[in-house]
Structure 1
Amino acid sequence: MSDLKERLRSDLTTAMKSRDQVRVATLRMALSAISAEETAGESHRELSDDEVVTVLGRESKKRRESAEAFDGAGRTELAERERAEQAVLTDYLPTQLSDEELASIVSAVISETGAAGPKQMGPVMKAVQPQVAGRADGRRVSAEVKRQLSAS
Structure 2
Amino acid sequence: MTQSQLKQQLRTDMTAAMKARDEVRVRTIRMVIAAISEAEVAGKEATELTDGQVLDVVVKETKKRREAEREFDNAGRPELAEKERQEAAVLADYLPAQLSEEEIATIVSDAIASTESAGQGMRAMGKVMGVVTPATKGRADGSAVAAEVKRQLAG
Deviation digits for residues 31-74 of structure 1, max 9, x if unmatched?
Answer: 00000000000111111111100000000000000000000000
SS in 1 for 2:146: helix
In the TM superposition, 1:74-93 aligns within 5 A as 74-93=76-95
Note the C-alpha offset of 1:111.
1.1
Percent of residue pairs identical = 56
C-alpha distance in 2 between matches for 1:51 and 1:63: 19
C-alpha distance in 2 between matches for 1:146 and 1:59: 26
Note the C-alpha offset of 1:119.
2.1
In terms of mean alpha carbon deviation, does 116-125 or 73-82 score higher?
116-125
**TM-score in terms of structure 2 length:** 0.95
Gaps of 5+ in 2: none
How many matched pairs?
151
SS in 1 for 2:33: helix
Q: Identify the residue that residue 13 of structure 2 maps to in structure 1.
A: 11
Q: Identify the residue that residue 26 of structure 1 maps to in structure 2.
A: 28
In terms of mean alpha carbon deviation, does 128-137 or 40-49 score higher?
128-137
Is residue 64 of structure 1 aligned with residue 90 of structure 2?
no
Q: Identify the residue that residue 141 of structure 1 maps to in structure 2.
A: 145
Q: Identify the residue that residue 107 of structure 1 maps to in structure 2.
A: 109
C-alpha distance in 2 between matches for 1:81 and 1:133: 25
Q: Identify the residue that residue 94 of structure 1 maps to in structure 2.
A: 96
C-alpha distance in 2 between matches for 1:86 and 1:41: 28
Runs of 4 or more consecutive aligned structure 1 residues displaced over 6 Å after TM superposition: none
